Structure formats: structure tokens, C-alpha cells
Amino acid sequence: MFNYPRREKLALLPTPIHKLEKLSKLLGGPEIYLKRDDVTGSVVGGNKIRKLEFVMADAIDKGYDTVITCGGIQSNHCRATAFVAAKLGFDCHVVLKKFDTPIIEANLFLDKLAGADIHYIDHDKYDNNLEEILKELQDKLAKEGKKAYIIPTGASFGIGNFGYLKAAEEISEQCKQKDITFHYIVTPIGSGGTYTGLSLGKKLYLPETKIVGVNVCDDREYFVKKIKKIWKESFAFMDVEIPLVDEDINIIDGYGGIGYAKSTQEELKFITDIARLEGIVFDPVYTGKALFGLVDQIKKGNFKKGEKVLFIHTGGIFGIFPKKDMFQFEK
């Protein structure tokens, strides 16, 4: 069997899988199951912690003492990294893309709570010069005697992909225990690492399952390229090379709505309805949009009765708080 790179145990695993009984019944289509990666830990809940288990082991083994990472103001990934860094005794610098004066709340508040150094970068500069900004910060820290490891956006890169490769193995074991086969695994796509890891894992552990991504930003073409790139990066850490063809990449485009981290009333109403139907919070940036996409596709008949679909709840709960004033509750 294949050898994983070393991992630092940080997440509470395995996460449960359970059926969304009421939603499945309401739609009358496929059976919908949920993989609860929103409960991988408290403040470090969500999908990033699985990636960080491998990333931080790599950083420790290579003698780093500091991490630098980046994302939007309300980045779940930056928050997870800040807490993992605190736990492991690393300094943490987060580079955040800013539009207006940031409000210190939700994930950004938690970044501060965990003691991360925060660097706000104007959105234009961030979009055009991110790599240089990270490198400059790394050089500056080196002059202060710090050895800083750069974790790219969402930890979606070679070593980070192993988090969801391992999750695919975990799912295959749970399938055996439950004597169930999923026709589809559906996941949100934000920077591509979760999808890439699951797809690599599909080839090793879930031959009968199709991995489907719903992108919440950019477009299908962008992610096909990105997934191919980071897929290859993982080979540097593996003793096997797993081939990938375009047909392996299944992305349902068109559910990003009015833009990354922006919400429509329809999406917020959907999140409200699901919270009341199933007693589970989906976030407005990733899981709410992706589940909305899945439900819409089921209504269109693209997933069928008799099929079994596993949706990955990738977390992101804190992202709901900055939107609180936009929700229009009838009660």
C-alpha cells in the first residue's frame, strides 16, 4: 500500500457520516448523506485542519519556526492556521486581502485571539502581487532570525492535498462498516485542495465513486488547470504516480452567485431553511452555496432516486456572523 508523508495529529477523526433524512425525503431524489468535517475540532473545525496535519509535520521536520499564510478577511484557513500555530509553538503571520476598514469579528477576531500577526493588503495589490508580498515577508522575517514556511491560499498545494487523500481512505473505511457505496461525493471548491485530495484518494480507495466539486469562485476552466497543477505537486511526496485525465475532473459551475463571499437573499433563505429542517448550520461562503447547487441539480434531475450522495460539510461556521444583519427572518 502507499506510504503517507508524516502527519501531526490535530483533527478529531474520523468525523461522522449521517443521512440527511428530511432533506432527502423532501426532494424525493437520491439519498443525501453528510460527512461532518465541520466538527474536526472546535476553533480548528472545517477542512483546513486535515491539510494542516501534513503541512505542519512538513514544517516541523524541515526546521521551520514560523508560518505565513494568506486569504480573505474572513478566511477560515487563516483562522485554523493561527490556532494550529499557537498549539505547536509557531509564530504565525496572516496576510489578508482588504477592501474597506476591516471589522474585527468572527474569524478575524479569532486570528487576533490566537496571537497571529496580521498584515492587511489592499485588494488590488493582493490580487497582483501576492507571491512577492509573501516572499518579502519571509525575507524580512529571515533577517530577524526566523525561518518562515509559506502556506499558499487554502493550503492547496502538494503536501496539503494529503489531508483529503487520507479523508478518502477514512470514507472508504466508513463505507465498509456501514456496507454502503456512494455514487457521488460532492464538495465545495474554493482553492482546489479538498477536491484534488479526494480525487487522488478516489483512485486509491473509492473506485466506484465519482468526485464532484461545486466551485464558489472563479470558473470551471480555472479549477481544471489548478487541480492538474497541484495534483502533480503531490508526487514529490509519493512513491507512486497516479495519472489524471480531464474526464476525472467533474465540476458543476454556476453556483458562485454574485461573487466570492457575497450572498443573495435566496442563498441566505436556503441556509435558514436547512438550519430549521436539519438542525445544521451551513456557511454562506462555501457549504451553503455548494449544497444549494447540489439541491438545484437534484431538482433538475441530474442526481437520481436510488443513488447515494455524500456531501462534505467543510465547515466555515464563523463566516455566518458577519452576515447576520442580512438575514430576513419571518420568525
- Taking the complex as a whole, how short is the minimal distance between the CB of residue 285 and ligand PLP, in angstroms? 7
Query: Which of residues 90 and 195 has its CB atom nearest to ligand PLP in the complex?
Result: 195
Give the integer Cα–Cα distance in Å for 50 and 40: 8
Give the integer Cα–Cα distance in Å for 275 and 93: 34
Residue with the shortest CB distance to ligand PLP: 316
- Taking the complex as a whole, how short is the minimal distance between the CB of residue 60 and ligand PLP, in angstroms? 22
Q: Which of 30, 72, 315, 322 binds ligand PLP (CB under 6 A)?
A: 315
Span from 118-126, 141-149, 165-173, 282-290 in contact with ligand PLP (CB under 6 A): 282-290
Q: What x/- string results for residues 11 through 50 when contact with ligand PLP is judged by CB under 6 A?
A: -----------------------------------xx---
Query: Which of residues 29 and 79 has its CB atom nearest to ligand PLP in the complex?
Result: 79
Show which residues are catalytic: 75
Q: b/e for 32-51, b at 16 or more Cβ within 10 A? A: bbbbbbbebbebbbbbbbbb
**Cell numbers standing for residue 84:** 494550529
The footprint of ligand PLP on residues 153-172 (CB under 6 A) is 154, 156
C-alpha gyration radius of the chain:
19
190 binds ligand PLP (CB under 6 A): yes
Q: Which of 77, 202, 226, 308 binds ligand PLP (CB under 6 A)?
A: 77
Q: b/e for 102-133, b at 16 or more Cβ within 10 A? A: eeeebbbebbeebebbbeebeeeebeeebeeb
Give the integer Cα–Cα distance in Å for 183 and 207: 10
76 binds ligand PLP (CB under 6 A): yes
Query: How many residues contact ligand PLP, by CB under 6 A?
Result: 20
Give the distance between the most distant pair of CA atoms in the chain.
Answer: 61
Using left for φ > 0, alpha for ψ between -120 and 50, and beta otherwise, residue 134 falls in: alpha
Query: Which of residues 194 and 297 has its CB atom nearest to ligand PLP in the complex?
Result: 194
Give the integer Cα–Cα distance in Å for 11 and 231: 23
**Cell numbers standing for residue 61:** 521536520
Q: Which of 149, 286, 292, 311 binds ligand PLP (CB under 6 A)?
A: 286
Which residues sit at the interface with ligand PLP, rule CB under 6 A? 46-47, 76-77, 154, 156, 188-195, 283, 286-287, 314-316
